[in-house]
Structure 1
Amino acid sequence: MELRHLRYFVAVAEEGSLTVAAERRLHTAQPSLSRQIRDLERAVGTPLLVRSARGVELTPSGRVFLDHARLALAQVEAAVEAARRAARPDKPTLALGFLTGQEVDWLAEAMRILRDELPNIEVTVSSQHSPDLAQALLHGRLDVAFMRPEPGMPDLDYKLVLTEPLIVVLPSDHRLASQDAVALRDIVGETFIGMSGTAPTLRAIIDDCLQRSGLDIPQAHRVDNLAMAISLVASTRGVALLPDYARNFLPWAVTSRPLAGERPAIDLVVGYNRANGSPLLRLFLSRLDRLAKRASPG
């Protein structure tokens, strides 16, 4: 069994079609790809894929094998990236990632932590959705990220930085803007804007909050990010539940109010791959208590 077998299998499983995987992902001939999959199945000793009217589907064995194949490929990518970094010893690099928008609050603080080391290191910064940050940590493209605690990522460790409440975001001239706080029952009948699968942790917290309320608050729209949510609040005169840091980005036409009653909250964490042996990562983690103090009220 070779790495190419794993890459071919993952491509077919994700595309659901030998033809599509061959043409779009692997740039190889479909008959050749079929042979590679058969070779893999012989090596494993059990069928992994079955043909169906919709293309190909995973067998129960295939579903189990897929998770391990992805992990093996991710570990290989991480090893390659680590080796490439080791080949550039002249100026070590620390790759920082931020949940889009959080760099406004935390980049300066993160750089302050590294202030004494900055003359000797290079710091790169990227801004992405939290699930994308998790994948970058797994694949070795990032060393550390300010993100949400993503489920189903056993190779990642998290350290809590801040727990922030959700707030109600609404048009500045909305009838509810005159209130000091807005209860969920106040937004029944309003155009409610929820989150899509690009923010699974936030989406789960919002969905759970609405479900436990017992109120009829259908989600008219689901958006990918804070900027889109804020734009829809302004354009549809809707309301949204967003993390408190969204207040940093509100235009004049949009405002926020605390949520009355029980206030759901979401964690901001520093995530990292526990297999990452970078000394700079260990240095950064050893100084996280400064970030905790920065996040404490007062």
Structure 2
Amino acid sequence: MELRQLRYFVAVAEELHFSRAAGRLSLAQSALSSQIRQLERELGGPLLVRSTRRVELTPAGESLLHDAREILAATDDALHRTRALARGEAGRLTIGSLGPPPGELLAPLLTRLGSQHPDVRVEIRAFDFTDTVDGLLDRHADLAFVYLPLHHPDLVVTPIASERRVVVLPRSHRLARRKRLAPRDLRGEVFITQPPEVPQEWRDFWLLVDENDGHRPPISPHIGDKLEDWLQLIARGEGVDTAPAIISRYYAWPELSYIPLHDAAPATLALARRRDAEHPLTEEVTALTLDIAAQAGLRASLPIEA
């Protein structure tokens, strides 16, 4: 038995007229009659009683009509869901984030995705420092908000917006009352850096290596794998570090001070995805995020103030 035979039978059973059913199916009446006879042979008995004036269902035909409608409805529903998933119109989309994504980006993005793809469930997954690359490559997320620099041959990285960095200090630090700091003010300070699994280029950016002519500062033996652990180390006085300014808005701990950093490259937020991304919405989400950033007046780079 084939699905098309069930569709042919349902059309005849609902119309109780071969000619009308053939027209509904855009099929020759002789071909339709042949298919119904073949179906009856496969089932071992008549489904319809035919006469020159009318067509009626047999008890077997009435039973099959009920079941055939359910089978075809389930099949159509399965095809609809599968096609929606293939087009990215249903299912789950996981977005990773290293640190809190800006609300002026995330909230509109979730709103627009919910409006355009109501059947897609969007999940935000917090990344640790080691997830910057591995979280995407291991398919723990379809896309991720990350901070540059980030270079990997298997990732597509799109800069979204930039903001000034801040210096994160314990409240008791001698520089904690300054209104602004420059890289030269931090020479000799011990820095809290990220785990060795994190690309050295990325760690060097936050350590201000370029701003200090390639010299790396003293590094604390303590390493924070998670964002909160890293902040706790700084709060305990184990060292200092630089961070995107957004950290100061989301983690206003009384033990910490956030001082604007000048004469240094800004922190650039990017959206990264795998080159072989399977989810069909990844490119659309990237385009939506860029559009939202433009409307919000965010830029992918900012001038460095003197």
The answer on whether the counterparts of 1:197 and 1:224 sit within 8 Å (CA) in structure 2 is no
Deviations 1:133-155 (A, max 9, x none): 53343344422211235755223
Distance change (3 Å), C-alpha of 1:173 and 1:241 = same
Which AA in structure 2 matches 1:282?
E
Q: Which residue of 2 aligns with 1:239?
A: 240
Residue in structure 2 matched with residue 46 of structure 1 by the alignment: none
The residue number in structure 1 matching 2:252 is 250
Deviations 1:67-125 (A, max 9, x none): xxxxxxxxxxxxxxxxxx96994932222211133376654233023131353222222
Counterparts of 2:129 and 2:112, CA distance in 1 = 22
1:124 match: 123
* Residue 218 (structure 1) aligned with residue 200 (structure 2): no
Q: Is 1:264–2:239 an aligned residue pair?
A: no
Q: TM-score, normalised by structure 2?
A: 0.57
Q: Which moved more, 1:278-287 or 1:154-163?
A: 278-287
**DSSP 3-state at the match of 2:204:** helix
* Paired residue secondary structure (2:192): strand
CA distance in 2, matches of 1:177, 1:212: 21
Are residues 293 and 105 of structure 1, via their aligned partners in 2, closer, same or farther at CA, if it must alter by over 3 Å?
closer
Taking a change above 3 Å as real, the CA distance of residues 210 and 149 of structure 1, as seen in their structure-2 partners, is: closer
Alignment of 1:60-209 (within 5 A): 89=85, 91-102=90-101, 106-129=105-128, 131-149=130-148, 151=150, 153-200=152-199, 201-209=201-209
Question: Gaps (5+ residues) in structure 1?
Answer: 1-84
**Once the two structures are aligned, what percentage of the paired residues are identical?**
25
Query: Cα distance, 1:246 vs. partner?
Result: 1.8
CA distance in 1, matches of 2:113, 2:188: 49
Paired with 1:280 and 1:191, the residues of 2 have a C-alpha distance of 43
| Bigger Rg over Cα | 2
| Cα distance, 1:130 vs structure 2 | 5.6
**Aligned partner of 1:240: which letter?**
D
Partner secondary structure for residue 126 of structure 1? strand
**C-alpha RMSD of matched pairs (Å):** 3.3
Counterparts in 2 of 1:128 and 1:258: CA distance versus 1, 3 Å: same
SS of residue matched to 1:178: coil
Task: Give the aligned partner of residue 288 of structure 2.
Answer: 287
For 2:208 and 2:169, the matched residues in 1 are separated by: 21
Name the SS of the counterpart of 1:94 in structure 2. Answer: strand
Structure number having the greater helix percentage: 1
Higher fraction of strand = 1
Question: Aligned partners of 2:273, 2:210: CA distance in 1, in Å?
Answer: 31
Measure the CA separation in 1 of the matches of 2:111 and 2:238: 40
Q: What secondary structure is seen at the aligned counterpart in 1 of 2:220?
A: strand
SS of 1:291's equivalent in the other structure is helix
Q: Helix, strand or coil for the counterpart of 2:236?
A: helix
